[in-house]
Amino acid sequence: MSELPNILVNLLERAKKMLSTHAMPRNALSGLRSWISGHAYYSTQSPAGSSSAAPAATPLSQLPKKKPHKVPTPTQYVKHREAMKKRFPDGWNPPKKLSREAMEGLRVLHQHDPTQFSTAVLAAKFAISPEAVTRILKSKWQPSEKRQAQLLERERNQKLASRTKRRNQEWDEGKSGPGADAIAKNPRDRLELV
């Protein structure tokens, strides 16, 4: 019976170490603390009448609560992120954006022959920055079929709207429309109000 308190003290010491190094759910932790603090063998003093050499244990409520150590961020990632913040202080916002079809074509060309279609060559051909080409080649995101159909429809509508806007501007300026070239060439054919 005299070994039982020593076994419990050792067990409780291991539990304290585990609690200080690992995160546990709140309800499990509070249940364990209440059980330990209410247990007869666990107190700040050694049990009465025993001359054991076990060290006096401290209650769990007095132990410091530690959070588990986070894994440090890899240094290369940190350096790259800092370099990108220096190069793009306002965040990544390229002046020219490619359509999804152009991005897919860029990926296919690079996959076909990476030496011939290097990042620099693709940047020159598509008139975008090498950083944009790198980001396009790195990205693996693919929309679902339904979302892809929506995106294609939206792109078509945007192109149609820009064409219509451009034609309306040209029409207002008298540069386009049926017979616009004849009117522009021959000023005597224009009607004048008298």
How many other CB atoms sit within 10 Å of the CB of residue 60?
A: 21
At residue 35, does pLDDT exceed 80?
Answer: no
User: Which comes out higher in pLDDT, residue 31 or 133?
Assistant: 133
The predicted-structure confidence for 36-88, as pLDDT tens digits, reads as follows: 555 544 444 445 555 555 556 666 667 667 776 677 677 888 888 888 889 88
In sequence order, the 6+-apart residues with CB closer than 8 A to the CB of 63 are 16, 19, 20
| Same domain as 52, residue 9 | yes
The region of weakest confidence among 14-23, 27-36, 74-83, 105-114 is: 27-36
Question: What is the percent of the chain where pLDDT is above 70?
Answer: 59
User: Which comes out higher in pLDDT, residue 54 or 130?
Assistant: 130
In a domain, 152, yes or no: yes
Instruction: Identify the CA nearest to 47 among candidates 104, 84, 3, 108.
Output: 3
**What pLDDT sits at residue 1?**
47
| Contact present, 143 and 156 (Cβ < 8 Å) | no
| Same domain as 8, residue 58 | yes
In a domain, 193, yes or no: no
| Same domain as 155, residue 133 | no
| Contact present, 174 and 183 (Cβ < 8 Å) | yes
**What pLDDT sits at residue 43?**
47
In sequence order, the 6+-apart residues with CB closer than 8 A to the CB of 30 are none
| Same domain as 134, residue 89 | yes
Average pLDDT over all residues of the chain: 75
- Give the number of domains in the chain: 3
Domain boundary among 29, 62, 95: 62
Distance CA 39, CA 7 (A): 13
Find the domain containing 182 and state its range: 145-187
In sequence order, the 6+-apart residues with CB closer than 8 A to the CB of 36 are 12, 15, 42, 59, 60
| Same domain as 43, residue 84 | no
